[in-house]
Structure 1
């Protein structure tokens, strides 16, 4: 232990106290907890802002907004707004922001000083030792540590925004599934009612001798299949609606929201693909998170190298007093000697983590480019298929149905031909609904591939395959 004059000691103590006070004052929590940046990132990618559940006044405003949105038939954008406002799972994910900011604030605060006190009595002599120790390494490396935690806080903001964008995309998919399932159920209801009327007419005609038992059995079988298909369609509509309800975070009376009767019309023309890859590289949140992670790891590598040999270095005020001598003042230095651990393993670990982060960033960027190309292919194919059903298949099936009905009325076509054509028409309409739904889901996946963390990465379903049970049922 070394001793300095008390005047120099007081100056050093004052310097340390002022430095600690200034540094502690710089480390404080932000007013918004990072939510303003998260809301802006989400708004840029979804058109909707987000907010964290907080004061009673904010909750009341959110509730009024929710009531206003539920008062009208639900549209895609209003469904997304409700989900971002009301989904409790999203609100739970926002807690990660608080954790990251707490680490940032902690990194900007000096470690509490250590105080030691010793009291020794020997005969008539009493010896008292006192010391206050400050972490000098922590003070010197504080800017670096704070920079690391700042980047991690920014990464947490990106993660929170990616959760919100992913929820918005999932809500839009569930919305289009629910509207399409409801539309298919209503069409199945119309088919079942028409089949019931035809079956009753066939029964009356059979009783009067104007219809054979075979024709009557065929029409009754068509009615029975239509009833079964209606039951399945109603369940599918219920299941799709409940999936949407879960994402919206609704329950009780709020779950009685209204959906439009049919899917939105196709746009006049599809979007072009010239800039989708560039947009994905600039806007995808998982790419930005990977870059932030690599930068934070690089800073951590620099810190590991800086503290390779000296990881514990403390200095502070000390004094000693004995019974027969005046109090002696000085300072005490505590230094960890690198005899057994020279920090090589710690640096090697940091270097390995950095290379891992770099390679992961490159992998995410490569996959993002591929995903956005795949998503655009699904989007463009979905548009072409849906337009083909709208402009070609459904009008052609209607024309064929009208011709078969005319031939049947002129006794040039049999009941079997009429029912076979009815089955084909029902199948064509259901396929058209599926194709229109698949386009809007593909459009949602494309936006997710550009803005969020990737789309659903699922191939377009074949309309023939998705509607095959309907065709077989009839």
Structure 2
């Protein structure tokens, strides 16, 4: 009987096993958690177990136990939005792939038994992939760049969710404030219409005058319906972003928007700040570095596709012992790897152009966001300091005239109608400012969603809005 035995490169593999990478236990979340703390002053957690979900639900319940604030809304979204949680698990996938790429390949073991007549041969082999070993440092670097890119992508998704949640909060509060005001307008219009009916029955008013008062009442009813529809839609959008359901959807909102700051932000260096801190620009740089590493990897391995090393020892029952080693390498007879290298170079140049375009767009977006912020501030301040105070002074003067019996009740009601457009526009202007503030904050750290102001109730033209009597 003859035996054939092939031994693998076990000593080499054993010496390198101590350098194998391992999972950090945090699922690659450290960079995202640091971004949340730095840019938002908030915390993020990935839910992996029932205990994690219970802790998140408990924290969400605490935040919902009182009227919601913009910061509380952002924190709830970061903890409770299931789409963001799914992205957090993408980090775990990328980390696992990085660790896998950093580990040595497993050795291969083979055994064969052959029989020919009375002769038997048993062959055992242990082999090790030297090609993988040679490419290991470059593979580790490429996967490390990919993990960093995924971390930045998830961090940017987190920041975008925070910005959208903040904008949705301001839109929902503005819609609540508008709906409350329109309910007051409807009550006033109802009183005016009832008084007009009585005056008409007494013969003190014409049908035309009564029809005008009824028209104002009908418009007030329509505007209230639109305001209620906007209130529901903005609240539901906020609910979706926060990941709320069931009894959680009964959260309460403040009665009015925050006041306008006394002064706007002055940011002459905003482009430089954005270039230094925007995650999409940093991510483009990381992708570019990964492509450069990938290009180097393609050149190194263009001829080393299958390279194995093993030690050999043969013994049989009829032949003397044989010792030696075996190396196999692919012969580049038909494929010299030039197409693979050309592809890597094209992908690299593609990444260069995309990185440049990302930087150009980032500069433009942050300028647009800042200009929109300043314009929104100026408009809201004009309503606060000029238009609304002027309308209030006119109302006070008309009230004095009414008390002195110089004008009647319907002239007073006509003046109240003229204020409706101003008040609603001032609410929308203040909402637009806070939305622009959220866009600006996002533009400095990531790609903003410059979609304009939040959803508002469409206002029908108000009869007598010019300020004159409605008769």
Common topology (TM > 0.5): yes
Within the alignment, does 1:440 sit opposite 2:431 as a pair? no
The CA deviation at 1:218 is: 1.6
Counterpart for residue 276 of structure 1: 270
* Structure 1 residue ranges without an equivalent (≥5): 1-5
Secondary structure of residue in 1 paired with 2:358: helix
* Structure 2 residue ranges without an equivalent (≥5): 466-471
Counterpart for residue 22 of structure 1: 18
Alpha carbons of structure 1 residues 450 and 384: separation in structure 2 relative to 1, 3 Å: same
Counterpart for residue 469 of structure 1: 460
Kept in 2: contact 1:215–1:416 (CA 8 A): no
Secondary structure of residue in 1 paired with 2:322: strand
Counterpart for residue 360 of structure 1: 354
Counterpart for residue 3 of structure 1: none
Alpha carbons of structure 1 residues 472 and 87: separation in structure 2 relative to 1, 3 Å: farther
Rounded to whole Å, the distance in 2 between the matches of 1:396 and 1:328 is 106
Alpha carbons of structure 1 residues 61 and 124: separation in structure 2 relative to 1, 3 Å: closer
Secondary structure of residue in 1 paired with 2:315: strand
Counterpart for residue 381 of structure 2: 387
| Larger displacement relative to structure 2 (377-386 or 34-43) | 34-43
Secondary structure of residue in 2 paired with 1:18: helix
Rounded to whole Å, the distance in 2 between the matches of 1:98 and 1:246 is 25
The CA deviation at 1:362 is: 1.0
Secondary structure of residue in 2 paired with 1:94: helix
Rounded to whole Å, the distance in 2 between the matches of 1:71 and 1:433 is 26
Give the length in aligned residue pairs. 461
Kept in 2: contact 1:431–1:467 (CA 8 A): no
Counterpart for residue 339 of structure 1: 333
Rounded to whole Å, the distance in 2 between the matches of 1:221 and 1:408 is 23
CA RMSD of aligned residues (A): 2.5
| Larger displacement relative to structure 2 (384-393 or 62-71) | 62-71
Kept in 2: contact 1:279–1:450 (CA 8 A): yes
Kept in 2: contact 1:438–1:460 (CA 8 A): yes
The CA deviation at 1:273 is: 2.0
Within the alignment, does 1:457 sit opposite 2:458 as a pair? no
Counterpart for residue 165 of structure 2: 171
Kept in 2: contact 1:130–1:319 (CA 8 A): no
Rounded to whole Å, the distance in 2 between the matches of 1:444 and 1:198 is 41
Kept in 2: contact 1:310–1:338 (CA 8 A): no
Kept in 1: contact 2:98–2:140 (CA 8 A): yes
Rounded to whole Å, the distance in 2 between the matches of 1:473 and 1:187 is 18
Counterpart for residue 468 of structure 2: none
Rounded to whole Å, the distance in 2 between the matches of 1:421 and 1:343 is 82
CA deviation digits over 1:291-349, x for unaligned, max 9? Answer: 11111111111111111222221111333333312443332211111111111111111
Counterpart for residue 109 of structure 1: 103
Secondary structure of residue in 1 paired with 2:431: helix
- 1:154 is aligned, of 130, 148, 158, to 148
Alignment of 1:96-135 (within 5 A): 96-135=90-129
TM-score, L = length of structure 2: 0.91
- 2:372 is aligned, of 358, 368, 378, to 378
Rounded to whole Å, the distance in 2 between the matches of 1:306 and 1:462 is 56
Secondary structure of residue in 1 paired with 2:35: helix
Rounded to whole Å, the distance in 2 between the matches of 1:143 and 1:429 is 65
Kept in 2: contact 1:229–1:473 (CA 8 A): no
Rounded to whole Å, the distance in 2 between the matches of 1:213 and 1:128 is 114
Rounded to whole Å, the distance in 2 between the matches of 1:302 and 1:57 is 45
The CA deviation at 1:408 is: 6.2
Within the alignment, does 1:211 sit opposite 2:208 as a pair? no
Within the alignment, does 1:78 sit opposite 2:72 as a pair? yes
Kept in 1: contact 2:130–2:307 (CA 8 A): yes
Kept in 1: contact 2:36–2:159 (CA 8 A): yes
Secondary structure of residue in 1 paired with 2:460: helix
Kept in 2: contact 1:128–1:320 (CA 8 A): no
Kept in 2: contact 1:293–1:357 (CA 8 A): yes
CA deviation digits over 1:95-147, x for unaligned, max 9? Answer: 21011111111111222223333434334333333322111111122111111
Kept in 1: contact 2:67–2:252 (CA 8 A): yes
CA deviation digits over 1:358-410, x for unaligned, max 9? Answer: 11111101110110000000000000000100110111122233444555677
Kept in 1: contact 2:192–2:413 (CA 8 A): no
Counterpart for residue 249 of structure 1: 243
Rounded to whole Å, the distance in 2 between the matches of 1:379 and 1:94 is 32
Alignment of 1:281-430 (within 5 A): 281-404=275-398, 421-430=415-424
Alpha carbons of structure 1 residues 470 and 286: separation in structure 2 relative to 1, 3 Å: farther
Kept in 1: contact 2:395–2:416 (CA 8 A): yes
Within the alignment, does 1:65 sit opposite 2:56 as a pair? no
Rounded to whole Å, the distance in 2 between the matches of 1:473 and 1:237 is 26
Secondary structure of residue in 2 paired with 1:48: coil
Alignment of 1:2-17 (within 5 A): 13-17=9-13
Rounded to whole Å, the distance in 1 between the matches of 2:30 and 2:81 is 18
Kept in 2: contact 1:131–1:319 (CA 8 A): no
Counterpart for residue 53 of structure 1: 47
